[in-house]
Amino acid sequence: MSMTWRHLPAAARAIAVAASDAVVAAQERDRDMYAVAVGTLAVTEGSGLVLGTVVRQLLEELHPDGLDSDDVRRIIENCLRSAAAWQPAVDPHALLVLLDLALSIHDHDDQAPQPTPESLARHTGLLVADLFARTSRTLAWYLTAAFAEIERTELHD
């Protein structure tokens, strides 16, 4: 994943680089590299929107007929299995929250406890890496598509 992203504004470039690094680190099970990438994602404004869009795109590609509750359960179980050996604190609730956010399933209860930005960033990296492993496109393709979709949405709002 050697795309430079020089054409992007600084914040978007930081997200693209950190997301790419997080996926590589997850694939290689490199805890230190993953921690650095997740740290950047957790504090960079807009990273949740970009990665949420990537998650939604991956889900749409992998499940073109839609998702049911069994699909959601399998997605969470697969991610837990692939991450548990090197990220033992992986939380199924955080993964469920991420899927809910990416798919805009329902309005969120402000009273319900939510994962921290750091936890969301850590789990998003794991989820993207796990879903991405089942596709044939590059992560750069998904990130580019996410940035383009977000730009179109912002222009039309």
Q: Tell me the per-residue pLDDT of 119-129, one tens digit each, with 9 for 90 and over.
A: 999 999 999 99
- Whether 77 shows a pLDDT value over 80: the answer reads yes
Q: What does the pLDDT average to over 78-107?
A: 91
Q: 3-state SS of 96-109?
A: HHHHHHHHCCCCCC
Estimate to the nearest angstrom the gap between the alpha carbon of 44 and the chain centroid. 14
Strand segments, DSSP code E, in the chain are none
Determine the pLDDT at residue 51. Answer: 95
Query: In a 10 Å sphere around its CB, with 0-12 CB exposed, 13-18 middle and 19+ buried, how is residue 86 labelled?
Result: middle
- Whether 105 shows a pLDDT value over 90: the answer reads no
Identify whether the C-beta of residue 54 lies closer than 8 Å to the C-beta of residue 142. Answer: yes
Identify whether the C-beta of residue 22 lies closer than 8 Å to the C-beta of residue 44. Answer: no
State the pLDDT confidence band at 1, using cuts at 50, 70 and 90. very low
User: Which of 103, 79, 74 has the alpha carbon at shortest distance from 90?
Assistant: 79
For 16-27, b where at least 16 C-beta lie within 10 A, e where not — what string? bbbbbbbbbbbe
Q: Which residue has the tokens 């319900």?
A: 112
Amino acid at 62: L
